[in-house]
Structure 1
Amino acid sequence: MVQLSKRMQGFHLQAWVGAGWMLWSISLFGCAVGNTLPSPATPTAIEQMLMGQAVERSLSAWDDGHFPVDKGAPLSLQITGIPPHQAFIKHHVARWLGEKGYRIVEGAQEARYAVTILVEALGVEQAVSFLGMPPVQSVLLPFSLPELTLFKAQYQTGYTRFRLDVFEVGTGQFVHSTPWYHAETYYNHFTVFFFIPFWTTNLADAP
């Protein structure tokens, strides 16, 4: 009976030691899981390229049959949705239409057709995966420990989805809606073994 009691005590001790070791390991090392991060208030250069090239890639699916308007016809553009980036996407669409032979005018009174760019999505999603020791601020030691990275991945994905609605100026008669144009771009930055960086991207001329 005494031996059984000692065995049980030894088992409980091992269990507590094991649990303590697990808690210490978890506190020391971050888990390699993906966490969605908020975008900064002002888009970075990479984010601007992700959004801009997502718009350009989406327009690469352009088919003249989707836009039954005579080339050379004066068009006025207006945009709805996604207020922070309205001028951004409007400029890209205006340039694309100009390259296709359409004439963009500022005043609606000079236009034959009014084109509304209906933006459903334009932005950058961000996430991070991390395995290692995060930076530690100690109240006992006179110095802090830096981040020790075994593996870190920062994912950035640009996405856009929009369509063009065409109306006759003057009558307001609805003419046509194009299909939804959509595309994705990505820029993923990795760090392994503390300081070795590399990245993958489908951006053209990525920094």
Structure 2
Amino acid sequence: MIKLIKILVISLLVLEILSACSTVHKPTQTSRSAIEQLLLSEAVIKSLPDQLESALPIPHGANVVLDTSGIISEDKDIVRQVMAGWLGKNGYHVMVGWFGEEGYHVQGDINMATHRINVIVGSLGTEFGETFIGVPPIQSVVIPFATPELALYKAQYQTGFVKLYFDIYELPSNRFVGSTSPFFAETHYNDYTVLFLFSFKKTDLILPPKLGSFEKTVKDQAKDKPSPEEQK
């Protein structure tokens, strides 16, 4: 009996120590976390081809004005930021810059434009899934503290997806010219935990944020900075 009590006391002490070592992480302090914003914006970037298989039904050199529809206002800001031009100076194709590379001059003033391109967004969002093997966190009235999550294996999957196409109109008549084939792409950010303590991530995002530390070294910064030859 005494031995059983000792085992019970030791078990309670171990659980209390483990609960004291648990880590709390709030995924976001805004409406969308940084990871979600990157999943969406980089999905839009990836959806645009490096080179058109067939030219748009617009004369090269034409001035075009852009509009977006099909998404909620919260996500329009993300799309507009991507559409504003190059995301940084690393040569990634985004909507406005991509149109410019194809020979079309993007205008903000509709009076200066000869065509309007409506970006019809059929889907823009993130999906989340989870696989968990282990003991979930427990809050009990029997013991005065909560036990932490004990994960033998845990996988959290986040996927960003976009599907869009262009409707093209002639200005100022608003005559419908044609539609493009759909553009679509997806991105992912997966977080894994094995045997309680060992964690790792798999993602196709460019430089995703890393919680709790600044891991980008001076060497990485120098690598990202264009060389004098590239600047020329």
State the TM-score, normalized to the length of structure 1.
Answer: 0.75
Gap change, CA 1:105 and 1:63, over 3 Å in 2: same
The structural deviation recorded for 1:65 is: 1.8
2:78 equivalent in structure 1: 88
CA deviation vs aligned residue, 1:143-172 (integer Å, no higher than 9, x gap): 221111111111001100000111001111
Superposed CA RMSD = 2.0
Larger relative contact order (C-alpha < 8 A, sep ≥ 6)? 1
1:200 equivalent in structure 2: 202
Contact 1:55–1:89 (CA under 8 A) maintained in structure 2: yes
Contact 1:124–1:157 (CA under 8 A) maintained in structure 2: yes
Contact 2:37–2:78 (CA under 8 A) maintained in structure 1: no
* 1:111 maps onto 2:113 in alignment: yes
The structural deviation recorded for 1:130 is: 0.8
The structural deviation recorded for 1:60 is: 2.0
The structural deviation recorded for 1:57 is: 1.2
CA deviation vs aligned residue, 1:70-124 (integer Å, no higher than 9, x gap): 2321111111111221232242422321233321111211110011000000111
1:68 equivalent in structure 2: 57
Q: Give ranges in structure 1 of 5+ residues lacking alignment.
A: 1-38
Give the paired residue count: 169
Q: Give ranges in structure 2 of 5+ residues lacking alignment.
A: 1-27, 84-93, 210-232
What percent of counterpart residues are identical? Answer: 37
Alignment map for 1:50-61 (pairs within 5 Å)? 50-60=39-49
1:101 equivalent in structure 2: 103
Larger Rg, first or second structure (1 or 2): 1
- Paired with 1:99 and 1:52, the residues of 2 have a C-alpha distance of 19
State the TM-score, normalized to the length of structure 2.
Answer: 0.68
